[in-house]
Amino acid sequence: IAGLGLIGLAAHNHADDRRLTITGSSTMAPLVMEMAKRYEQRHAEVRIDVQTGGSTRGLMDARRGTADIGMISRALTEKEADMVGHALALDGVTLIVHSDNPLTQIDKAQVRAIYTGEIQRWSALGGPDQPITVVHKAEGRSTLEVFLAYFELKNSEVRPDAIIGDNQQGLKTVAGNRTSIAYVSIGAAVYERDRGVAIKPLALSGVAPETARVRLGEFPLSRPLNLVTANAPRGLAGEFITFARSAEVHDLIEAQFFVPIVD
């Protein structure tokens, strides 16, 4: 009986340590939440808290130790060489317009012209004679950094009509405004479009915004989705990252219209 009591006490103390805090990218958060739920179902003593706030928050929290793991929806830069990245999946970034907009594709020069204010009406692109409502991302969002890098823009050159934070805000803004254009995760856009939300992802430079195109490396604007840690992960953080990068969660990755990374 004494032995059983000691085992119970040891398990209880261990359970107190079985908590993880993961913060960062709003693109990744819905996926990581699903992974966390599945992990908790298999490990009843574990509690995983997933919070959004943007990739910059995830990186800073992981670096400072206020989170065990950060989520960043882009590659690590040279300045972030002190951090360790653990790629989960690939995603693309797509331009979206309202589903009533006749436009079906766009190219790099047109996007630059729209976001710098050079083109201000849809009629210049074969659409209706209405002003373009330019929706842009807030600072600290990986989608913003990926967008600026690909379109060779400085943030100071962009002339936005609206600034949004996460993908959901972008999707809601475009669905509610027939003249708007925004850029969001392909995964988020395809998921919402297929659920009947009034948005349309645009082909970019002739390539359809589809998960299959991202998988083949054909879609021009794609990025890795990374979990990041301040050091090589140990303990529960290491166990969860191994799980999140395993074939056991490929169905969850594909359900969010991302592309699993297969080692």
- Token reading at 224: 């890795």
> Distance of CA 125 to CAs 101, 134, 135, 185, Å?
11, 14, 17, 23
211-245 burial string, b = 16+ CB within 10 Å, else e?
bebbeeeebebbbbbbbbbbeebeebbebbbebbb
Integer Cα distance of 208 and 199 in angstroms: 15
Beta bridge mates, 69:
22
Provide the 10 A C-beta neighbour count for residue 8: 10
Predicted TM-score of the model (pTM) = 0.80
Integer Cα distance of 195 and 215 in angstroms: 22
Q: Which of 17, 86, 87 has the alpha carbon at shortest distance from 230?
A: 86
pLDDT at site 8: 38
Q: Which of 4, 19, 21 has the alpha carbon at shortest distance from 61?
A: 21
pLDDT at site 202: 97
Cα three-residue angle 109-115-120, rounded to 5 degrees = 95
pLDDT at site 141: 85
pLDDT tens string for the chain (263 positions)? Answer: 334 343 333 333 343 479 999 999 998 999 999 999 999 999 999 999 999 999 999 999 999 999 999 999 999 999 999 999 999 999 999 999 999 999 999 999 999 999 999 999 999 999 999 999 999 999 888 889 899 999 999 999 999 999 998 889 999 999 999 999 999 999 889 989 999 999 999 999 999 999 999 999 999 999 999 999 999 999 999 999 999 999 999 999 999 889 998 86
